[in-house]
Chain A
Amino acid sequence: MAGKVVAMSKKKASRGGSQRFSGNGAAAATTKWVGQPIRRKEENRLVSGKGIFVDDEKMPGMLHIRFVRSSYAHAKITRIDVSKAEKFPGVVCTLTGAEIKRQVQPFIEIGPGGAQKIADYPLAADKVVFQGEPVAAVVAETRLAAEDAAELVEVDYRPLPPVVTAEDALKDESILHPAMGTNQKTFKQAAHVVRIGRLHFHRFSSTPLECNVILATWDPRSGDIEYHCNNTFPSFASQFLAPALGVRIDQIHMKSFDIGGGFGIKITSYPYMAVCALASRKAGGRAVKWVETRIEHMQASAHGNERTFLDTRVALDKTGVILAIDSKHVDDCGAFPRYEPLGCVIWAQVLPATYRVKNVRIDMHQVVTNKCPVGPNRGYSRMQHLWFMERVIDICGQALGIPADEMRRRNYIRKNEMPYKTPNGCVYDSGDYASMLAMAKKLVGWDEWKKKQAAARKEGRWIGLGIGSTLDSGTNNFGQARIINPDAPFSGQSKVGIVKLDIYGEVVVSMGSVPQGQGHETTAAQVVADALNITPALVNVRPGFDTAHNAYTGHTGTYASQFAVTGLTAIHGAAMKLRKELSRLAAWKLQAKEQDLEFGVGGQGPEVRVKGRQKAINYWALANLVNVNNAGMPESLWDITLNCRHVFHANFQIPDVKRKYGNLTLTYAAQVHAAVVEVDRETFQPKILTYACVDDCGKAVNPLIVEGQVHGAAAHGIGAALLEDCAYDADGNLLTATFSDYTPITAMNIPDLMYGHMESPSPFTLNGAKGMGEGGAAPVHTICAALQDALYPSGVIIDDSHNTGDSLFRAVQKAESGGYAGMVRVEHRRASR
């Protein structure tokens, strides 16, 4: 099971550091802790059962809410009767869609034009549009009473015809078309044109182990709403909730502590947050708790978005270099667009993927269907596009007889072309994809497997080798929303960090992030320890998010692979401001010049002292001077608060909306995976024989955490490729609504992951770090490529991102009956370059 680890970083990290002192008063900090694989600060409480997850919290007089949900995908509600439920012992009140509709405004819609007219209420009032959509809620003294009473709510439906595929939805009017660039001329000049039929990226969800949980109190005295919840983008949620509920933003108080995974999905819990607040109000201001069940989560929280790729044409020169791609993509966003219009454009951050192709035209559509609404899910919107690009590379390679590794080598953006501007104006900061591929090939033993594969084929075995190159773009520019809706009033990116000395000199950090396992407390402590030349153990980082810490802007949340850039830069900035204040104070108190001071840890804890002399003042004394003992302090120091706040800004512009052109994101971490997969001749069950992940996220702030994130993203991708699928039947019933049907990946089916690491520092960030963690669904690309390689001689084209023994059996049957004829058509042109 021991995975091989290869590191290409030139600087060998030493563990921890001796007590050195850094000089120059407030000048730049050293990096002693950043880059070290230190044990996380979070671990001890979490291994002791002392994590505080929302469902662990109880409030005096707390009530429980249970939702009544639609069993139909598409139906008219003809009657709702809550009278029996209301009479049930222990029930405090009920809520129905019709009642709520009178009390709230529909949620803001991000999409333009017609999408603005969608009326999205937190409970369905007269029509349901997906199975599991909530239509009523019951609030009771106990969870069991709420569950029992919910069974007594009577709802009559008149079923309507469901729409469950994007193609069916397209028969109506499409919503938007951000087409990018033109390329008709290039196609005329091409040596080869490859036409590819329908490709499909399936629905899945990273399904965090903790479901959505909300504890809401709408205080009738103050009118304030307090949420303990695990929503991972609280600023976004409050901007949706405040207008819907008719309160000011400052009246919404949100806090989280520990969160049991998120992966993007928990951003979309705001409709339930609205209902819980309304329920609390109706119950006279008592706290109301909602703990989502797994079935509710699968049916009605959010899925990752599903995309269909149609009418693809690829122009290549005679060496297999791609000149142009033209394709039509249809995003199926489920019943409500909600957050998803952003997904319609976020893929454009990685328009050419890892390739030099200059001409790309994607005719992008989004449709609504009678399925669970989609939301951000690890690799959000980019992974679908990257999968498409990898399929294009492999299908073209096979059509032209160019091996997969060679096809990539010829098309990759080169290291010396970085920073690289994409055809739509994004800037890839750094990266060396060819070296990553070389490392991944070495890890899996590519060349030896090629020989084994040839021998195995003679024995009739189906063994395939696959590569997945992918990008994890991080620190998004919200200005990209303007491309879908020019009136969307947001752009840029920001994050807040606060570092202060408390009254007894404690170093306390408040983060403007909502961690869900990414180790933010640890990496924040590493950054602050370096800034003040102390140890991470001396840095107290407040876990979780709390509005009351005031460490937020409207962009605050944890999403889009960015904390290492946005959150840590904000915290670093705050720590450096604190360092400057401490330096000024100490210079006055020690009667020294700031440039003669040094920071470090002395016999009485963290201190500032005069270089080469026995004069020092510790943090307790410095905090004492400002907070409780400030008589006699010169007026020139009165601005010192020792409570320093810093806001991260990225140098983004608003994109050119007409040309759909502009820099949409700041950093580009990359992953190149390689795998060998065998498809069993008897069972058609695919089995991974060997697997390697190579990542490059610039400077790794904590290599232990980075490797853990790479493993996690790989597991999600492998699970998605081979096991996990939100499958619907033709009536819009979700067939995989429990874990027993959805089968999240376990220890029994995860392969050993070999890990390789490279560092191409970003020129655009503090310390050269890049955001990472989403992983770009590299395994989905890799496994599809390997399956394609294994079954290509049998005539199979892998056209779906989800493949099981069952689907591969059908694929081979389809190939045998000529079902893939015309799926890939190649035109060779003589008079070309």
Chain B
Amino acid sequence: MPDVKKILVRVRVNGAPREAEVEPRTLLVEFLREHLNLTGTHIGCDTSYCGACTVIVNGRTVKACTLFAPMADGAEITTVEGLAKDGQLHPVQEAFAECHGLQCGYCTPGLLLSTLQLLKKYPRPTDSQIRKGIAGNTCRCTGYQNIFKSIRMAASEMEKH
């Protein structure tokens, strides 16, 4: 192994404390996937275009390929694995599943987290707010139509509760 000084990174992921020693150049997405075994967060490009790696860090959506893991030290992180509670899907997950807002499902975790943030900011989003809210998430399967539908459904379901 190359003689690289490793850095201890401590985070809270989905409410639980997690830590690992990593090379400083480790990206947050690699840290989540390879070191914490949270494989629900995906990698789709190398240039922060596609958003498959979107997670929530300290209350903001972040493309996890744009942060080095040590930069997230001490952060509160939500990934797709943290959305369902007690075996019950989150309304955003339920809406995507019900509206067929996914096909291969590879982009879906990132889209779910972007949607969650979008609806936190705009509980009743306009069409244009929906488009802008997921502008950084590429989906190659759905043509986005059912994703728009899913987000509208999630908004109306979350408003009820």
Contacts and interface: CB of A to CB of B under 8 A. Distances in A.
Interface of A: 1, 3, 39-40, 42-51, 53, 55-56, 88-90, 141-142, 144-145, 148, 206-211, 258-261, 263, 291, 293-295, 516-519, 704-705, 707-709, 711-716, 738-740, 743-744, 746-748, 750, 752-753, 755
Nearest to A739: B49
Name the residue in A46, A259, A744 with the highest tally of chain B Cβ atoms < 10 Å from its Cβ: A46
Given A48-B89, A49-B80, A88-B2, A42 B43 contact: no
Contacts of A3: 145
Interface in B40-81: 40-47, 49-50, 52, 79-81
B145 A55 contact: no
Contacts of A50: 40
B106 A1 contact: no
Nearest to B48: A740
A731 B87 CA distance: 56
Contacts of B106: 51, 53, 208-210, 258, 260-261
A261 B81 contact: no
Given A747-B134, A747-B147, A46 B1 contact: no
A500 B136 CA distance: 44
Contacts of A53: 39, 42, 106
A711 B142 CA distance: 6
A44 B87 CA distance: 11
- Interface core residue of B3, B40, B141 (most chain A CB under 10 Å): B141
B116 interface: no
A5 to B, nearest CB: 11
A42 B44 CA distance: 20
A471 B116 CA distance: 39
Contacts of A88: 2
A738 B81 contact: no
A263 B102 CA distance: 15
A208 B2 CA distance: 34
Interface in B10-50: 23, 25, 33, 38-47, 49-50
B131 interface: yes
A739 B100 contact: no
A708 B105 CA distance: 13
B135 A260 contact: no
Given A142-B1, A739-B138, A49 B79 contact: yes
Contacts of A144: 2, 23, 25
Given A49-B41, A49-B109, A148 B142 contact: no
A703 to B, nearest CB: 10
Interface SS, B side: loop
Interface in B99-152: 100, 102-109, 112, 127, 130-132, 134-148, 152
B97 interface: yes
Given A49-B109, A145-B2, A748-B132, A704 B100 contact: yes
Contacts of A42: 105
Contacts of A291: 43
A748 B134 CA distance: 8
Interface string B79-104: 11101100001000110111010111
Given A47-B96, A747-B131, A752-B145, A517 B39 contact: no
A84 to B, nearest CB: 13
Interface of B: 1-3, 23, 25, 33, 38-47, 49-50, 52, 79-81, 83-84, 89, 93-94, 96-98, 100, 102-109, 112, 127, 130-132, 134-148, 152
Given A47-B112, A141-B1, A738 B96 contact: no
B140 A209 contact: yes
Which of A148, A711, A755 gathers the greatest number of chain B CB atoms within 10 Å? Answer: A711
Given A209-B138, A716-B143, A748-B132, 6 more contacts: A39-B97, A49-B80, A89-B1, A141-B1, A144-B23, A747-B137
Contact of A209 (B2, B81, B139, B152): B139
A726 to B, nearest CB: 15
Contacts of B33: 55-56
A60 B115 CA distance: 37
25 contacts: A3-B145, A42-B105, A46-B102, A46-B104, A47-B80, A47-B97, A49-B79, A53-B42, A53-B106, A144-B2, A210-B106, A261-B103, A261-B140, A263-B140, A516-B104, A704-B100, A708-B100, A709-B103, A711-B144, A711-B145, A739-B49, A744-B50, A746-B138, A747-B147, A748-B131
**Most chain A CB inside 10 Å of its own CB: which residue of B1, B103, B134:** B103
Contact of A210 (B42, B81, B135, B136): B42
B104 A739 contact: no
A715 B42 contact: no
A294 B141 contact: no
Most chain-B CB neighbours within 10 Å: which of A3, A258, A516, A746? A746
Contacts of A750: 143-145
Given A49-B79, A209-B107, A260-B104, A746 B46 contact: no
A23 B49 CA distance: 56
A707 B145 CA distance: 10
B139 A39 contact: no
Contacts of A260: 42, 44, 104-107
